[in-house]
Amino acid sequence: MHSETRLVWSSKVDWERYLRPRHLSEALTLLEQYREDARIIAGGTDLLIQIRKREVNPNVLIDISQIPDLDKIKCEEGLIKIGALVTHHQVASSSLIREKALALSQGASWLGSPQIRNMGTIGGNIVSGQPGADVTLPLLALNAAVKVVNKKGERTIPLTQFFEGPGKTVLDRNSEIVTQVLFPVLKEGETSLSLRLAKRKALALPILVASLVLSADLKERRFHYVNIALGPVAPVPFRAKETEQYLASAPIREEVIKEAAQKAAQEANPRTNPLRGSGAYRKDMVAALVERGLKQGLHALEVQHG
């Protein structure tokens, strides 16, 4: 049986019921029972802020943090599988993630403060749907998908199809819960990295994040493929598809790298923002980070091959 607690944090944060299901089936039953009156909570680092700001006003919080087996990182059948309750600190400190998905380890290590990284979960970061999320962008570059369950079963949704707009996803919050994120293990000749532009000593969302996954033949001096995820430069976490197509099987040359960087800047459409800078400035920074990322990725492959 689930437990129930009444918590009143302040005059701005109140709800009628706070429920702690012990099993996923219980959580789905409660979600079905309360529907639009309920919200799922785990770390709460995003949701509690939204509640304080009155952006959402749930009467019931369903705390899934006690559900077993959703807080594990494992590698099975060529896939890295990360439970939705895994914290950003777990991701950042995982030797498996550092070795096989450096871009994700870097993104998780940058997110917020140590307190937020110890509380916030990877599932919550994805569900928040923010176009510049430090964890979502490397996952997008890594061709990740999320596993979603409801009372009828489960489905797996590629992250490229998961986001619909700022803070909006295809997830039905009234009946579905994200349980896992999964992506292919990078093979020999592949590498990943993330680059971040942000104000110094600031815990806010970044000005810009570029996450790349590269595969190349260094002997033939030719790219196999490059995945490029950028944010926040569009209403959703963004893959620079035209730039990726340009780089597919392209020769590794300085002029090719510079042209790819300019193409990525042209694909990006960042808004002018008083906190993040003008759209023109951020386009220039897209070009700078993509060029730097391509060069750093190639260097990492050279080190990998000795």
Q: Looking at 14, 40, 63, which one is the last position of a domain?
A: 63
Give the model's pLDDT for residue 183: 98
pLDDT value, residue 9:
47
- Between the CA of residue 133 and those of 237, 271, 298, what are the distances in Å? 8, 16, 25
Please state the domain count of the chain.
3
Domain that holds residue 28: 3-63
Question: Which pLDDT belongs to residue 305?
Answer: 79
Tokens 């942000």 sit at which residue? Answer: 198
Could you say which of 155, 184, 213 is where a domain stops? 184
pLDDT of 213 reads 98
Determine, yes or no, domain membership for 29: yes
Point out the residues of the chain with pLDDT beneath 70.
Answer: 1-15, 45, 49, 200-205, 274-275
At 201 the pLDDT is 53
pLDDT at residue 1, as a whole number: 52
Residue-wise pLDDT tens digits, 263-286:
999 999 888 876 677 888 989 999
Q: What is the CATH number of the domain that holds 57?
A: 3.30.43.10
Domain-located, residue 268:
yes
* Predicted structure pTM score: 0.90
pLDDT for position 129: 87
pLDDT for the residue 14:
62
Same domain, 137 and 228: no
Give the Cα separation of 18 and 8 in Å (integer): 10
Q: Does residue 7 sit within a domain?
A: yes
Predicted pLDDT of residue 112: 74
C-alpha–C-alpha distance, residues 170 and 163, integer Å: 6
Q: Which of 188, 191, 234 is nearest to 103 (CA)?
A: 191
Do the Cβ atoms of 304 and 191 come closer than 8 Å?
A: yes
> Which residue, among 75, 65, 112, has the nearest Cα to 92 in the 3D structure?
112
Q: Reading across the β-sheet that carries 238-239, which strands appear in turn? A: 190-197, 208-217, 222-231, 238-239
* Domain-ending residue, one of 40, 63, 86: 63
- Residue 68 belongs to a domain: no
